[in-house]
């Protein structure tokens, strides 16, 4: 079952009351940060849902307590219960059956956008960097270990890029001619996401729920690597900002300091920041490419 055309969000259909302004409307109308219009609408619809308002405050502390308990379990039984195959089947099942269409759409988009960003850096780096793009077309595609592959892709990219640059004694630098040709508009449609009556869980609540499951079915090393991959946001942001000669845009990065690993307790929240940062970076690159085509 697929969703019909999404209705007008409540924050757009309600009349504006100056004495009781709608915070979601203010965020929607604000354009101080780059974000595609459809993405912003889906994000705010998901964020203003009852699930996020009432379920997230209950789920978040319980999920973090589960992370602590699972960490203790991993100390005693470091490789018990580990199965990437089972993990991805559970995640795909949960997303398909219980998560809102907007959240599923944003999750699937993330793999496409992340692949585009790495391709942009590689094609403008001046060196050969092997890539393994991830472009799922439906939730079932996630079963092919896509979450783990997404994390390893990031670390492998940083390693391969910097080894190639060091071998040729080169470094990234602002370019007079930047190649934006690898950037594309993600073809996935919100209307194609599952929309059963059970698909009610918002993105942030889903991530908090899935993080302890992720930890349970991965080795301790794999979970730590996945968590620390979030701090590569600043690394990837620096690469793109350097190539564009626009270092000021690094203010949009919230997962900072890749040399200082953070606790896994806030992994769910930081994963949400990672998703937003990727959307903003991709929108920024597309906007820069559009400006370059108008003013070559």
Q: Read off the pLDDT band of 2 (50, 70, 90).
A: very low
Give the span between the Cα atoms of 185 and 283, in whole angstroms. 10
Report helix angle 232-244 to 146-167, nearest 10: 50
> Picking from 12-21, 169-178, 242-251, which range would have the lowest pLDDT averaged per residue?
242-251
CA atoms 114, 29, 246, 185: torsion sign = positive
Whole-number pLDDT of residue 295: 61
Average pLDDT over residues 29-38: 90
34 three-state secondary structure:
coil
Model confidence over 266-296: pLDDT tens digits? 899 999 999 999 999 999 999 888 887 656 5
Give the span between the Cα atoms of 248 and 72, in whole angstroms. 42
String of b and e for 112-133 (b: at least 16 CB within 10 Å)?
A: bbbbbbbbbbbbbbebebebee
Distances (CA, A) of 255 to 73, 74, 94, 180, 232: 28, 26, 27, 25, 8
- Closest by CA position to 129, among listed 101, 165, 88, 95: 165
Whole-number pLDDT of residue 3: 46
Whole-number pLDDT of residue 40: 94
Give the span between the Cα atoms of 96 and 112, in whole angstroms. 19
Give the span between the Cα atoms of 162 and 185, in whole angstroms. 28
> Picking from 24-28, 90-94, 112-116, 243-247, which range would have the lowest pLDDT averaged per residue?
243-247
Best-predicted range by mean pLDDT (11-20, 98-107, 220-229, 249-258): 98-107
Average pLDDT over residues 136-143: 97
Q: Give backbone dihedrals phi and psi of 35, rounded to 5 degrees, phi first.
A: -165, 135
Whole-number pLDDT of residue 294: 58
Average pLDDT over residues 109-123: 96
Distances (CA, A) of 208 to 43, 59, 90, 183: 17, 7, 15, 30
User: Is residue 1 over pLDDT 50?
Assistant: no
- Closest by CA position to 194, among listed 112, 48, 47, 95: 95
User: Residues 180, 292: contact at Cβ < 8 Å?
Assistant: yes
Rg (CA), the chain: 20
Q: What is the pTM for the complete model shown?
A: 0.92
Whole-number pLDDT of residue 157: 97
User: Is residue 162 over pLDDT 90?
Assistant: yes
Model confidence over 204-246: pLDDT tens digits? 999 999 999 999 999 888 898 998 899 899 999 999 999 998 8
Whole-number pLDDT of residue 253: 85
User: Residues 12, 25: contact at Cβ < 8 Å?
Assistant: yes
């Amino acid at each position: 079952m697929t969703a019909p055309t999404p209705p007008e969000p409540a924050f757009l259909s309600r009349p504006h009351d100056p004495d009781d302004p709608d915070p979601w409307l203010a965020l929607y109308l604000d354009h101080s940060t780059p974000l595609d219009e459809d993405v912003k609408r889906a994000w705010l619809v998901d964020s203003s849902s009852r699930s996020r308002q009432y379920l997230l405050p209950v789920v978040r502390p319980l999920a973090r307590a589960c992370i602590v308990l699972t960490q203790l379990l991993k100390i005693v039984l470091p490789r018990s219960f580990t199965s990437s195959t089972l993990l991805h089947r559970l995640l795909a099942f949960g997303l398909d059956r219980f998560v809102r269409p907007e959240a599923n759409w944003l999750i699937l988009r993330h793999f496409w956008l992340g692949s585009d960003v790495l391709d942009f850096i590689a094609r403008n780096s001046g060196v050969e960097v092997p890539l393994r793009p991830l472009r799922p077309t439906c939730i079932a595609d996630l079963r092919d270990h896509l979450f783990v592959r997404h994390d390893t892709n990031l670390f492998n990219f940083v390693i391969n890029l910097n080894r190639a640059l060091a071998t040729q004694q080169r470094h990234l630098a602002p370019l007079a001619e930047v190649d934006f040709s690898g950037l594309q508009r993600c073809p996935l449609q919100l209307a194609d996401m599952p929309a059963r009556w059970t698909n009610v869980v918002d993105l942030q609540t889903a991530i908090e729920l899935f993080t302890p499951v992720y930890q349970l079915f991965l080795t301790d090393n794999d979970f730590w690597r996945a968590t620390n991959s979030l701090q590569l946001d600043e690394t990837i942001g620096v690469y793109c900002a350097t190539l564009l000669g626009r270092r000021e845009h690094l203010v949009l990065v919230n997962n900072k300091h890749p040399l200082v690993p953070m606790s896994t307790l806030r992994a769910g929240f930081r994963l949400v920041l990672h998703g937003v940062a990727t959307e903003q970076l991709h929108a920024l690159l597309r906007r820069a490419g559009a400006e370059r085509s108008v003013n070559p």
